[in-house]
A and B are shown apart, each in its own frame.
Chain A
């Protein structure tokens, strides 16, 4: 019991998720039905993949405001380029995402421009690309294979969720077990010390910007296949911020050097559960946003309170 309590204190997001599940089940018993739970997993898949990429970048000490537009752009490409064949369309969509990430990463790591400004620029600029490409029209998929994939499931579990899960597991593994993962924590934790240890800090930053945008592009492709369409407004205006919020909910530090994919998943599920519950309860989606804002601040507040309590026990002096 004490152990559980300590875990919740360290990672308040799981306590909040549990609490939400209990409350929502009481208010709307149909919440806990299998069908509904699977639905939550399906709806969380896109956010989940994108949050994985963002977690990498945030552990590295940066964040990316352009993920929502990158997602929209790659969705548009994945649908619009289907005349070339599904496979080429998807590949191009992913490469476009990675390319935007490379530009972001280059400008931040090499040209030393502030990441906020760089990704704010691509956030706006790539949206322009979407409008140019789509001519402001919604694109509808032509191939049933594509949309069938998006609504398919394996052993009753949505394929998209399985994809997200696989990506998350690999991502966590890489983060913990490879030099790149360790370098990411080191650069985010202390840029100068990492550089002095001979770590290629610029390369690490570059790679994580690319991974973050690539994850957003994967999210875009998955979303497009689920809807079998892409609208020019996908991800506009605030999906980028929702993804950052999700990662923060999972306890990843905004200053870098700390965080994990597992707990980011806690953030992803929490947001999925809230959205689903408010639908079940027929609450206007505006309340949905209000509530999510409140929860975000609550979690971060709780986290900092617990952290203070922990630190009071072990302050260090020079």
Chain B
């Protein structure tokens, strides 16, 4: 590699969080004007690496350094990184929607008139020039809030250019884009290349890697596992480096004998979200609900759990028709719900492991009106062992645990309630590969010990791996039901894809 062309070099960077070594001696080289893909499973350390690069996190003391354009740099906040030309474009865009495009581009650096007022004429001229440069047809005077997500992304790119970006980092930029919008993004990335700006492209979508990148850097468990030239490799080469272990016993099929019907849903509808949803789950059965984001999967689950009210339709639990008006009622009837976003919806982060596990069970561990802390402690000990939760202790706040252990705490909370029906929405999102397999095992075990389980997931291997039966959804409708024996990735994909 021609050393002169290296614009950014990362040497032996490590980053430790309590209990987790998120990055361990990671190296990275980015050449001028190239697009480098950084790939890896969830929890491989991609985002941590980028946040460390751009000054959000500080690398471990004494662990290597960052060389930008020949100079060793160290950023204590994202602003310093930006000024040096290293710009991170987050998954969630960071624009002010009430301000105009031009204002957003030059925010913090607005041109002034002699009297100190904002020089609107010059501002819009400057912004217009950048837009023309990128061949974008966006009016600088338009409010950012009126633009589509993909056009907002373009404004972010324009802003990066206006700041003299040397390296632009994209973190999963296509997660909320349509196919056509993706093409526009790629076009803009190619323009960045032409201007000799380097791009780091973080993704877990392999097709994008082959479409847009020049080289690939693979991370696994916080370490480099390979550095490849995109044009010279096959998909299998990359995935092997990403996963790095044999996935045969990755999924555990539950061996439970299926019993009586626990949940039956008939013609459940909610305007604008889903229509005529009918299915049932038996004791000891794992049913997967599969579909793209926005297909209405989570909404169906939330409705069964009483967090939303359906417009019409009927629900039976254990053969008895029920009308669930609140989550509290759902819990009493015997439904447990592990929500999609454990930090926002599942855990009270400021509370301890013990307190989070007992959260749903408080009314049942009362002794003359007071909490029976001994029972609470027993519960904690029991599930810590059963689920092999690794935590320093009962009083450890859950905010300090890793994603996998946090998720186990949420699952423990529901297992302690011994519900008849357990609903898990995206149970392994943002969890490292090892813990994923453990969660899958837990799901199988739950079914084997007699729960009816409903799993929602947007990961195809996961849904195929854990489910006895899969219900495919598209735009709020059921588009297919597959048994474990007959399902293939192709048939499933056909059922959920937009035609």
Residues of A within 8 A of B18 (CB): 313-314, 316
Task: Tell me, in angstroms, the Cα distance from A257 to B350 when the chains sit together.
Answer: 7
- CB-based nearest B residue for A182: B362
A199 lies within 8 A of B47 (CB): no
A126 within 8 A of partner (CB): no
- The number of A-B residue pairs with CB atoms under 8 Å apart is 96
B370 lies within 8 A of A196 (CB): no
A190 lies within 8 A of B370 (CB): no
Task: Tell me, in angstroms, the Cα distance from A250 to B355 when the chains sit together.
Answer: 23
A198 lies within 8 A of B400 (CB): no
Count chain B CB atoms within 10 A of each CB in A193, A195, A197, A315 and give the residue with the most: A197
B327 lies within 8 A of A317 (CB): no
Q: Beta-carbon contacts of B328-359 to A below 8 Å, as 1s and 0s?
A: 10111000010100011111111100010001
Q: Beta-carbon contacts of B1-28 to A below 8 Å, as 1s and 0s?
A: 0000000000000000110101000000
Count chain A CB atoms within 10 A of each CB in B20, B22, B330, B346 and give the residue with the most: B346
Residues of B within 8 A of A189 (CB): 348-351
- CB-based nearest A residue for B337: A196
The interface on chain B, measured as residues whose beta carbon lies within 8 A of the other chain's beta carbons, has a size of: 42
| 8 A Cβ contacts from B403-422 to A | 403, 413
A197 lies within 8 A of B371 (CB): no
- CB-based nearest A residue for B45: A317
Task: Tell me, in angstroms, the Cα distance from A296 to B413 when the chains sit together.
Answer: 39
Contacts A179-B362, A197-B413 given: A315-B17 contact, CB under 8 Å? yes
Contacts A197-B360, A316-B17, A318-B47 given: A185-B348 contact, CB under 8 Å? yes
Task: Tell me, in angstroms, the Cα distance from A316 to B406 when the chains sit together.
Answer: 12
The residue from B369, B371, B399 contacting A316, defined by CB atoms under 8 A apart = B399
Residues of B within 8 A of A196 (CB): 305, 307, 327, 337, 339, 345-346
The residue from A195, A258, A315, A318 contacting B403, defined by CB atoms under 8 A apart = A318
A198 lies within 8 A of B332 (CB): yes
Residues of B within 8 A of A315 (CB): 17, 57
| 8 A Cβ contacts from A288-318 to B | 313-318
Task: Tell me, in angstroms, the Cα distance from A246 to B17 when the chains sit together.
Answer: 35
Count chain B CB atoms within 10 A of each CB in A177, A179, A200 and give the residue with the most: A179
Task: Tell me, in angstroms, the Cα distance from A230 to B369 when the chains sit together.
Answer: 38
Count chain B CB atoms within 10 A of each CB in A189, A198, A200 and give the residue with the most: A198
Residues of A within 8 A of B351 (CB): 185-186, 189, 257
Residues of B within 8 A of A179 (CB): 362-363, 366, 371
- CB-based nearest A residue for B373: A177
Residues of B within 8 A of A200 (CB): 328
A316 lies within 8 A of B400 (CB): yes
Q: Min CB distance, B408 to chain A, in Å?
A: 15
Task: Tell me, in angstroms, the Cα distance from A314 to B17 when the chains sit together.
Answer: 6
Residues of B within 8 A of A192 (CB): 344-345
Q: Min CB distance, B222 to chain A, in Å?
A: 11
A213 within 8 A of partner (CB): no
The contact sample of 12 A-B pairs, CB cut-off 8 A, is A185-B350, A185-B351, A185-B355, A189-B348, A190-B350, A196-B305, A197-B327, A197-B360, A257-B350, A314-B18, A315-B57, A317-B22
| Residue ranges of A at the interface with B (Cβ–Cβ < 8 Å) | 177-179, 182-183, 185-186, 189-190, 192-200, 257-258, 313-318
